[in-house]
Structure 1
Amino acid sequence: MRRLAILSFHGCPVARLGEKDTGGMNVYVLQLARELARQGTNVDVFTRYHDPNDPKVVQLEEGARVIHLKAGPIDAAKEDLFDFIPEFLGELYAFQRSEDTTYDLVHSHYWLSGRVGMTLSQKWDVPHVTTFHTLAKTKLRARVGEREPMRRVNVESLVMQNVDAIVVSTEEEKQDVVRLYDAVPRKVSVVPAGVDLDLFEPIEKPIAREALGIREKRVILYVGRIERLKGIEILLRSAALVEDIADTRVLIVGGHPENDTEQDRLRALTAELGLQDVVTFTGAVEQAELPNYYNAADAFVLPSHSESFGLAALEAMACGTPVVASRVGGLKTFIDSGETGYLVPWRCPEPFAQRLEILLANPELKNAMGTAARAKALKMGWGHTADRMLECYSGLSCDSWESVAGD
């Protein structure tokens, strides 16, 4: 049976979502590993310890597991992790020897893992596929003041030159890797991300709100990491412009309640705007709890400056909640503006407030968009993503990686 090594060096797929450095990529790795295992591939996901209580091995399901490896202090900052790659590799080799196993292909996620993948591909003489999820040069162009280390830019370029295949989520991302990094176009495959349709499905709104203790008439929701690139300030300022905001609850899901300078800044802005009785910063929540949040909401808002895909928006749509989002990146590929929500081309509060007011004031329109959003999401389950990924793997190997599920 084929055996795949997935590398997610800095982001553990079983870490709590919404905290610093955990988000859509973690979900992507987790769900891809599970779906590939269901289709007949043995999958080991290698990541660093993110919590001292982490078990060495976490069984996701039959044929898929997460292996935690030592790589620097658990609380090491992401910008320092590159220096711990040698330790990570040493731990991975030791684990491989203890299991007496080999791998047929390496799939790395994010630039740090890409550098690890280069070494493993050469040592094991197997193909290396990489998915960056975000790119330094794209982020630097998305928002004034955004900063990325030059080391990241250089490593991304190096990995693209040496890798066998680059998987991106959208045609726009493919254009970025070719135009900004001179990647070879034939190496780049477009494989859209998916959504867990079993977990994210419609629930009666009163039931979802009761579960969360929400009493307000209207609910506006954001889910994701708490960082400037996500544009949460735009959401707060747009909420302040919405009429009759007093009977509305704005939920900001994600982040850590302590030692988070960006969340502290947003809390201060909330008070400045007079929204302290309207806005709730929930902190990170378990993924199993997210369907209640998505279903409780009248609208999901994602005012990002840049999104390679925007998985949280697709999760909201799967729950039948219309989305108001920036017209950037992957969001443009699955949100049909005017049908499943709205795409806003400007990163300023007024147009977001206008779209929110339209949805909040028109229940029939909101429900129709929610129904259309669910229908769109039904076409984007993780099974489709895994099928496309296996096709990519097969193109690099003499042996087929096509699904053997049910054999």
Structure 2
Amino acid sequence: MIKINMFSSADKVAGQGVGSAYVELINLLKDRFSNEFDIKINNYGRSDLSHYHTIDPQFYLSTFSKKRGRKIGYVHFLPETLEGSIKLPKPARMVFYKYVIDFYKRMDQIVVVNPTFIDKLVKHGLDREKIKYIPNFVSTENFYEKTKEEKIDFRKKIGIPEGKFIVFGDGQVQERKGIDDFFKLAELNPDIEFIWAGGFSFGKITDGYDRYKRMVENPPKNMKFTGIVDRNELVNYYNVCDLFLLPSYDELFPMSVLEAFSCGAPVLLRDLDLYKAIIDGYYQPANNRFEMNDFINKANMDRSILDKFKVKSKAATNQYSEDNLSKIWYDFYNDQYKIAKRDK
């Protein structure tokens, strides 16, 4: 049995995709490979493999211990992707960004959730041969399409009539997520209901916190900010929306998009290059707010337009299924164990 220590604080702060990805992986491994993998969480005992999901300072210090075995680092962000997310004084920001890269360089193996990050990590000085791409996934047991009756009931619960067109978005309230465009689209379309699930996971160090706090407290009449929603409740929002919209300017492999796909929701995204490497063809692209607005209005007028996108969402779910990813992770950990034994 391979001893794997998972190091993570990702699930301590609600509303973060990193935490969702971590929970999905742990559940998958424990459900399917409990006889092959002995998994412990934040345990500093001896292990064959140590998989670091977050970059906490105490985890960094632990990498100097010989008990860690082969060290695997999970890259969910780079310094450049934090721009527009957190606000720090420039000296502190530079120190933190250097620390992020130093942490990754302490690893024997890096896993990225988007292949476009490989070249970027190489530019930061990491060895290309030590970087592997493994995509995110979501559990279809937790995120699935509900019955028509269940959808109607949830609409009633949140006070939205059955025929009302709903645009739903999910993520932290911050500039990088494109929340300004989402807000403006709500203002431009008073006959459409806009819902944003998410809050300030970074608290007051969120870049633009004061402005976004005022925005959350004073939305248009047709817009709701739900705050951070538990994942067990989030599935209902994906199910009742007519269209899922994530207008982010920068992402890795957003869990919210996979969750929307898994619930059969049509997906509209800002057309980012990094999406083309992972989910091209599964969503409606838009270059800016005006193109988003145009598609939303067309879909509202003729909802049959969305039928093909529901089919695309199901296809994406099959592509990034638990069955496919479980084999990838099983092979990955076994390969890493073989390397660890060889080097030992």
* Class of the TM-score when normalised by the shorter of the 2 chains: 0.7 to 0.9
SS in 1 for 2:173: coil
Q: How big is the shift at 1:301? A: 1.1
Identity %: 21
Q: For the aligned residues, what is the CA RMSD? A: 3.0
SS in 1 for 2:233: helix
Q: How big is the shift at 1:209? A: 1.7
**2:159 alignment counterpart:** 213
Q: How big is the shift at 1:289? A: 0.8
Picking from 216, 228, 250, the partner of 2:194 is 250
Q: How big is the shift at 1:251? A: 0.8
CA distance in 1, matches of 2:283, 2:336: 39
Q: How big is the shift at 1:249? A: 1.6
Q: Is the 8 A contact 1:302 1:325 kept in 2?
A: yes
Query: Is 1:235 aligned to 2:228, yes or no?
Result: no
Query: Is 1:341 aligned to 2:319, yes or no?
Result: no
Query: How many matched pairs?
Result: 329
Query: Is 1:37 aligned to 2:30, yes or no?
Result: yes
CA distance in 2, matches of 1:199, 1:264: 34
**1:5 alignment counterpart:** 5
CA distance in 2, matches of 1:316, 1:121: 40
Q: Evaluate the alpha carbon distance shift between residue 384 and residue 400 of structure 1 in structure 2; reply closer, same or farther with a 3 A threshold.
A: farther
Cα deviation 1:349-383 (Å, max 9, x = unaligned): 21221122222222111122112212221221234
- Once structures 1 and 2 are overlaid, which stretch shifts more, 356-365 or 312-321? 356-365
CA distance in 1, matches of 2:169, 2:329: 29
Q: How big is the shift at 1:263? A: 6.6
**1:87 alignment counterpart:** none
Alignment of 1:47-62 (within 5 A): none
Query: What TM-score do the two structures reach when normalised by structure 2?
Result: 0.84
CA distance in 2, matches of 1:119, 1:16: 22
**2:138 alignment counterpart:** 195
Q: How big is the shift at 1:331? A: 3.3
Structure 2: 5+ residue runs without aligned partners?
none
Alignment of 1:61-72 (within 5 A): none
Query: Is 1:25 aligned to 2:18, yes or no?
Result: yes
SS in 2 for 1:171: coil
Alignment of 1:136-155 (within 5 A): 136-140=79-83, 149-155=93-99
Q: Evaluate the alpha carbon distance shift between residue 270 and residue 116 of structure 1 in structure 2; reply closer, same or farther with a 3 A threshold.
A: closer
Q: Evaluate the alpha carbon distance shift between residue 400 and residue 182 of structure 1 in structure 2; reply closer, same or farther with a 3 A threshold.
A: closer
**2:304 alignment counterpart:** 364
One-letter amino acid of the structure 2 residue matched with residue 255 of structure 1: G
Cα deviation 1:286-315 (Å, max 9, x = unaligned): 111111100110111111121011110111
SS in 1 for 2:65: helix
One-letter amino acid of the structure 2 residue matched with residue 371 of structure 1: V
CA distance in 1, matches of 2:209, 2:157: 25
**1:302 alignment counterpart:** 246
